[in-house]
Amino acid sequence: EAEVAQSPRYKITEKSQAVAFWCDPISGHATLYWYRQILGQGPELLVQFQDESVVDDSQLPKDRFSAERLKGVDSTLKIQPAELGDSAMYLCASSTRLAGGLVNTGELFFGEGSRLTVL
């Protein structure tokens, strides 16, 4: 069964260090999302890609966060420098478009997530 792959599953780092998360979406899925989920809350969108282009990064703290999807397939989310408040689950998700259309199918599939702890 097709899956969204993420790594690492767990990351512990000290504040001011750099961290990076990787995501490989389901094959053929043009839209890729990075979400942040704080314990006890629903996922919140950080950045959305359509192929290799960013279509929404309005909630991404750009002073320390960056994301790229250079070839329109896998993606990397980086935090530098990490702060205590960045401790959270970072979730990658992907979706695909209706054939020939501009609209997502409405199904969003998540990876297992990367749990970040900043000390």
Partner 1 sequence: GQQLNQSPQSMFIQEGEDVSMNCTSSSIFNTWLWYKQDPGEGPVLLIALYKAGELTSNGRLTAQFGITRKDSFLNISASIPSDVGIYFCAGQPLYNFNKFYFGSGTKLNVKP
Of 66-85, binders to partner 1 (CB under 8 A) are none
Nearer to partner 1, 68 or 112 (CB): 112
Task: Please state the closest distance from residue 60 (CB atom) to partner 1, in A.
Answer: 14
- CA 83 to chain CA centroid, Å, is 18
> Is residue 22 at the binding interface for partner 1, with CB under 8 A as the rule?
no
What's the CA gap between 18 and 81, in Å, rounded? 5
Task: Please state the closest distance from residue 16 (CB atom) to partner 1, in A.
Answer: 26
Q: Which residue has the tokens 């966060």?
A: 65
Residues 83 and 19: beta-carbon distance below 8 Å: no
The token pair at 68 is: 């790229």
Residues 8 and 23: beta-carbon distance below 8 Å: no
> Is residue 44 at the binding interface for partner 1, with CB under 8 A as the rule?
yes
Residues 58 and 72: beta-carbon distance below 8 Å: no
> Is residue 41 at the binding interface for partner 1, with CB under 8 A as the rule?
yes
Nearer to partner 1, 44 or 83 (CB): 44
Per CB under 8 A, residues contacting partner 1 are: 4, 6, 31, 33, 40-45, 48, 50, 55-56, 89, 91, 93, 95, 102-104, 106-113, 115
